[in-house]
Amino acid sequence: MRRERRLLLTMLCLTAGGCSQWDPRPGPIRAMAPRPNPPAARAVASRPAPEKTPDLQQRLRQNRWLARFWSELTPAQRRRVEGRMATEGSADRAEAGERWDVMGLEDRARLVFGDGAAQRSPSPLATDRPGERTAGG
């Protein structure tokens, strides 16, 4: 019986070992070619400018009304925006509201504060609601 078992196992090994179709392992594997790094100009252009983003974010935190629609602005905030638009050549009040609503946040901040550095001490007009104090004020 022991001899029969060995013979059976030997025959099984010989028949199973000879069949390559039963081998679940794949053939030789080839590595992919490494992907090249993107050109530096495209990588730099896709990132936002590090200096402008924090400045804009700080302005929006201090002056949340910049992100509101024209109809949501207080009369004092509207006068401030209309005054800045008048210096740029747009004197019509109805046009000021239409223009404000389609402006981007950077354009609104540039219009209200100019191209200079961030506003150091926010004015009373820069608050969300009349009579509300700004952060740090």
Predicted TM-score (pTM) of this structure: 0.46
DSSP 3-state assignment of 12?
helix
b/e sequence 105-116, b meaning 16+ C-beta within 10 Å: eeebbbbbbeee
Length reported for the chain: 137
pLDDT in tens, 49-68: 555 566 888 888 999 999 99
Model pLDDT for residues 84-100, shown as the tens digit of each residue: 888 776 667 778 888 99
